């Protein structure tokens, strides 16, 4: 089931990137512009803003995995990287860069409050994407309408953004989303514990590492069997590769079947496991066999 959900998510994301790209090249206005969070922030479109905050509270950062064209471009870069490097996607858990993302958020808010012209849009993921399409694709092909005046600063920012997206996305997936993007930071603070979220069942997990290997947000901490859901962009890549159905998109939390394996430290309210304990491993294997037989 998760494979189908993942394909559906990818189709929606490609449409949400393709339609505005075509609109930009053809010189049309696109409805997708009005769905963008930063645009809503600048224009004070509170309905759009509240809509996305409620969606994020309930479903997590779906905006980042489906609607944002810059996020999809980063995913495309990661996918090409996997093909070129013969599927050697080997993301590992990275600690949250909370201080960095707060600094970027403060700078972005300050630029909205005091900035004019191009400065606030530098931090807007949709504007960054549109600028790249305009400056690096439409203009060289002679497709731009001329409505947007050419400036050297706009071209330089578009080129720098493209380099940053490709350089970081190639090896580190969504690292820009979880450090520099102010929209990502707002959504991450909203999605500290969304109603539906990705969760690992420690009883079913066989420690194969596949989920961590494909997680572009680098938010799966396998030794603890936890997912940092505020950085998770709900792409369903991990759920699609798990060989034992141990990582799922669900409400609530898993509790381990063995009482002695429950957390005593209550670190972050998450259950702890001892991945190196052979008794636990034997117990899990037996449990999986039992479930397979029945």
Selected from 181, 191, 256, 271, the binder of ligand SF4 by CB under 6 A is: 181
Min. distance of Cβ 97 from ligand SF4 in angstroms?
Answer: 13
Look up tokens 């600048």; give the residue: 42
Q: Is position 211 an interface residue for ligand SF4 (rule: CB under 6 A)?
A: yes
Stretch that binds ligand SF4, among 39-47, 113-121, 217-225, 259-267 (CB under 6 A): 217-225
Stretch that binds ligand SF4, among 78-86, 134-142, 154-162, 213-221 (CB under 6 A): 213-221
Chain centroid to Cα 166, Å, comes to: 16
Q: Is position 271 an interface residue for ligand SF4 (rule: CB under 6 A)?
A: no
Stretch that binds ligand SF4, among 40-48, 136-144, 204-212, 265-273 (CB under 6 A): 204-212
Token pair recorded at residue 10 = 């990818």
Q: Which is nearer to ligand SF4, 61 or 154 (CB)?
A: 61
Min. distance of Cβ 56 from ligand SF4 in angstroms?
Answer: 10
Q: Which is nearer to ligand SF4, 129 or 144 (CB)?
A: 129
Q: Which is nearer to ligand SF4, 98 or 244 (CB)?
A: 244
Side-chain half-sphere CA neighbours of 156 within 13 A: 5
Per 3-state DSSP, the chain is made up of helix, strand and coil in percentages (nearest 5) of: 60, 5, 35
For the CA atoms of 217, 219, 225, 226, the dihedral, rounded to the nearest 10 degrees, stands at -120
226 contacts 250 by C-beta, under 8 angstroms: no
Q: Is position 238 an interface residue for ligand SF4 (rule: CB under 6 A)?
A: yes
What is the distance between the terminal CA atoms of the chain, rounded to a whole angstrom?
21
277 contacts 223 by C-beta, under 8 angstroms: no
């Amino acid at each position: 089931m998760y494979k189908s959900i993942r394909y559906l998510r990818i189709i929606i994301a490609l449409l949400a990137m393709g339609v505005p790209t075509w609109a930009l090249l053809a010189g049309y206005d696109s409805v997708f512009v009005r769905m963008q969070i930063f645009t809503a922030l600048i224009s004070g479109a509170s309905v759009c803003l509240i809509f996305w905050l409620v969606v994020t509270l309930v479903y997590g950062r779906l905006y980042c995995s489906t609607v944002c064209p810059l996020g999809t471009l980063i995913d495309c870069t990661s996918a090409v990287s996997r093909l070129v490097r013969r599927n050697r996607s080997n993301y590992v858990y990275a600690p949250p860069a909370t201080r960095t993302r707060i600094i970027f958020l403060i700078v972005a808010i300050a630029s909205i409050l005091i900035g004019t012209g191009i400065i606030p849009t530098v931090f807007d993921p949709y504007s960054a994407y549109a600028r790249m399409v305009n400056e690096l694709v439409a203009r060289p092909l002679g497709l731009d309408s001329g409505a947007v005046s050419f400036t050297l600063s706009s071209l330089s920012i578009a080129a720098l953004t493209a380099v940053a997206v490709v350089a970081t996305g190639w090896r580190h997936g969504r690292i820009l989303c979880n450090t520099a993007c102010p929209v990502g930071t707002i959504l991450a603070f909203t999605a500290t514990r969304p109603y539906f979220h990705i969760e690992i069942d420690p009883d079913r997990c066989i420690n194969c590492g596949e989920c961590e290997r494909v997680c572009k947000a680098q938010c799966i901490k396998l030794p603890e069997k936890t997912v940092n859901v505020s950085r998770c962009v709900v792409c369903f890549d991990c759920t699609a590769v798990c060989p034992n159905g141990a990582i799922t998109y669900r409400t609530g939390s898993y509790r381990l079947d063995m009482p002695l394996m429950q957390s005593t430290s209550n670190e972050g309210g998450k259950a702890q496991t001892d991945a190196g304990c052979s008794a636990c491993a034997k117990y899990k294997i037996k449990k999986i066999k039992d479930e397979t037989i029945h």
